Amino acid sequence: MALAQKNPIFGCISWGKRYLLPLREHTDCVMQIVVEHSEALRGEVQVPGAKNSVLKLMAVTLLAEGEYRLTNVPDIADVDTMCDLLRALGVQSKKVGTHELVLTNSGNITPVAPFEFVDRIRASINVLGPLVGRYGSADIAMPGGDDFGSRPIDLHVAGLEAMGARFELNKDGIRATAKRLQGASIELKFPSVGATENILTAAVLANGVTVIDNAAREPEIVDLCNMLVAMGAQIEGIGTSRLVIHGSKKGSLRGVRHAVINDRVQAATYIAAVAIAGGDVQVRGARPEHMEMVINKYTQMGVSIYPQRDGLRVTAPERLTAIDFATLPYPGIATDYKPLLVAMNSISSGVGIVTENLFPGRFRYIEELCKLGADIRIDGHHAVIKGVDHLIGTAVTAPDIRAGAALVVAGLAAHGETVISEIHHIDRGYDDLVGRLSGLGADVTRV
Ligand code: EPZ
């Protein structure tokens, strides 16, 4: 009974590593992840499809009637939420096995996105462009998702207004209307991923040509453009900061089959796990061409990364070396990698200075890392991380998707047991993180 007694959090019966919860308490029991200090990781892990691509690919099924088959779909909670949202709008979805999704748009679309779904994920805002572009109106609550402080949508609105949409703000959110969107030249004051995606997906059915300058260039945007082109859209400059979209007639686009690109952030998470716990691992399906900057940073920290035919081989150094870095839009260091790099810096030799340029409020996990014994000071949108010899396991809380995963990874190097709560955040964006890490020999369990 030692463990249960040692861990009042659980207040339940322990059976080896599996916690058997008395049924009565099941409803108000929260799922947690327990990480023990792990030996070196070995073997191979498959990188799943990308959350930040699949959700946008699902939203463009609103653009045209027909059947869409998405493969390499990650088994994550956000996909289920997007399915619920699309169902409420009129697009039916069916899972085929775990990683394939069939979506059917039979033309009965009601362009009203209910708060209950929109509030759960940021990507819900991505139905705005297709709805206004295809149906001339959209009623949407303000999007939710990870709390990084203010996450405005002014660039989305300004871009669609430039194409002739009219916006009203009401108690339930925003209403956008447009007889038919007109092509326009739009220069984004910041290469916003979401704004680029909404303007792009609205422009494919606009009258005339739309040019987006200073467009975001993330691999997920390229994946979206490739699916739109397969549907019949005409887009030039894919992968560059200038996208030129030649509007097509309504009814000229069609359903397609599309394989979602692999998730570069999940790939980076498994590399960080090896870097922190030690070992030698094949990260299958990692796309080095999508991860150049983060691979450079990992290499500067002493991690050895070898491109392979279908991924990367990763081996860890004796001790990591701290680095400085700043988050930037693609191809810079993505802000989504930052919690992983901060966790690595926290047990590295030396001091690293990190600057957050996209979401100044995205430091909420620092407090949790400090509970594990990390030495980190925040100064505005900078963090100074002084590497410590080791972390010490304790109870921590996941504040969002990426930070949650970084706490799991940090726990692999912590002495003792790290218990992570609020793991629904992790489930939103990670496809079986616990199973994939335990497959590499990590001592990680869901309880
Ligand atoms: C996407 O968010 C991703 N989310 C985020 O990943 C990612 O961190 C972010 O891009 C940056 O790479 C999804 O794809 C669902 P932005 P998004 O619009 O589209 C400002 C994860 O963990 N801005 O590029 O919301 C904004 O405040 C998530 O998977 C405006 O000012 O990001 C921020 O400072 C977290 N006005 C910056 O631009 C706008 O209208 C970047 O935001 C829009 C954005």
Of 286 and 149, the one with more pLDDT: 286
Looking at ligand 1, which atom is closest to the CA of residue 216?
Answer: 24
For 205-221, give one letter per residue: b (16+ CB within 10 A) or e. Answer: bbeebbbbebbbbbbbb
For ligand 1, whether the C-beta of 402 sits within 6 Å is yes
51-59 and 219-231 helices, crossing angle to 10°? 30
For ligand 1, whether the C-beta of 381 sits within 6 Å is no
For ligand 1, whether the C-beta of 337 sits within 6 Å is no
Which residues have CB under 8 Å from 330's CB, separation 6+? 191, 216, 217, 218, 219
Ligand 1 center to 193 CA (angstroms)? 6
- The residue whose C-alpha atom lies closest to atom 3 belonging to ligand 1 is 52
Ligand 1 center to 216 CA (angstroms)? 10
For ligand 1, whether the C-beta of 425 sits within 6 Å is no
Radius of gyration of the chain (CA): 22
Q: Annotated catalytic, 146?
A: yes
Please choose from 192, 196, 330 the residue to mutate so as to test ligand 1's pocket, defined by most ligand atoms within 8 A of CB.
192
Query: How many C-beta atoms lie closer than 10 Å to residue 15's C-beta?
Result: 10
Ligand 1 center to 205 CA (angstroms)? 24
For ligand 1, whether the C-beta of 152 sits within 6 Å is yes
CA distance 252 to 175: 26
Choose the weakest-confidence range: 107-121, 319-333, 411-425: 107-121
For ligand 1, whether the C-beta of 361 sits within 6 Å is no
Which residues have CB under 8 Å from 252's CB, separation 6+? 232
pTM over 0.85: yes
CA torsion angle for 261, 264, 357, 202 (degrees, to 10)?
10
Ligand 1 center to 148 CA (angstroms)? 10
Q: What is the pLDDT of residues 214-270, one digit of tens each?
A: 999 999 999 999 999 999 999 999 999 999 999 999 999 999 999 999 999 999 999
Looking at ligand 1, which atom is closest to the CA of residue 123?
Answer: 15
pLDDT band at 117 (very low <50, low <70, confident <90, very high): confident
Does pLDDT of 17 surpass 70? no
For ligand 1, whether the C-beta of 194 sits within 6 Å is yes
For ligand 1, whether the C-beta of 335 sits within 6 Å is yes
CA distance 88 to 353: 45
Please choose from 358, 362, 400, 428 the residue to mutate so as to test ligand 1's pocket, defined by most ligand atoms within 8 A of CB.
358
Looking at ligand 1, which atom is closest to the CA of residue 157?
Answer: 40
Ligand 1 center to 8 CA (angstroms)? 39
Does pLDDT of 14 surpass 70? no
Does pLDDT of 24 surpass 60? no
Looking at ligand 1, which atom is closest to the CA of residue 122?
Answer: 15
Choose the weakest-confidence range: 21-35, 41-55, 97-111: 21-35
pLDDT at position 11 is: 41
Give Cα 434 distance to the centre of its chain. Answer: 17
Q: Which two tokens stand for residue 30?
A: 């929260």
Of 145 and 92, the one with more pLDDT: 92
For ligand 1, whether the C-beta of 155 sits within 6 Å is yes
pLDDT at position 29 is: 66
Q: Over the chain, what is the mean pLDDT? A: 93
For ligand 1, whether the C-beta of 193 sits within 6 Å is yes
pLDDT at position 2 is: 43
Please choose from 54, 147, 186, 193 the residue to mutate so as to test ligand 1's pocket, defined by most ligand atoms within 8 A of CB.
193
CA distance 349 to 398: 26
- Tell the burial category of 25 from Cβ atoms under 10 Å away from its Cβ (0-12, 13-18, 19+): exposed
pLDDT at position 30 is: 76
For ligand 1, whether the C-beta of 198 sits within 6 Å is no
pLDDT at position 410 is: 98
CB 442 within 8 A of CB 273: yes
The closest of 325, 297, 126, 327 to 228, measured between CA atoms, is 126
CB 278 within 8 A of CB 302: no
Choose the weakest-confidence range: 14-18, 33-37, 285-289, 394-398: 14-18
Does pLDDT of 20 surpass 50? no
The closest of 28, 44, 20, 4 to 314, measured between CA atoms, is 44
128-135 and 193-203 helices, crossing angle to 10°? 20
Mean pLDDT value of segment 332-351: 98
Q: What is the pLDDT of residues 124-159, one digit of tens each?
A: 999 999 999 999 999 998 777 777 777 899 999 999
CA atoms within 13 A on the CB side of 361: 8
Catalytic residue among 78, 139, 146, 263: 146
Ligand 1 center to 181 CA (angstroms)? 24
Beta pairing partners, 308: 311
Does pLDDT of 321 surpass 70? yes
Ligand 1 center to 63 CA (angstroms)? 23
pLDDT band at 371 (very low <50, low <70, confident <90, very high): very high
pLDDT at position 206 is: 98
pLDDT at position 18 is: 40
Ligand 1 center to 330 CA (angstroms)? 12
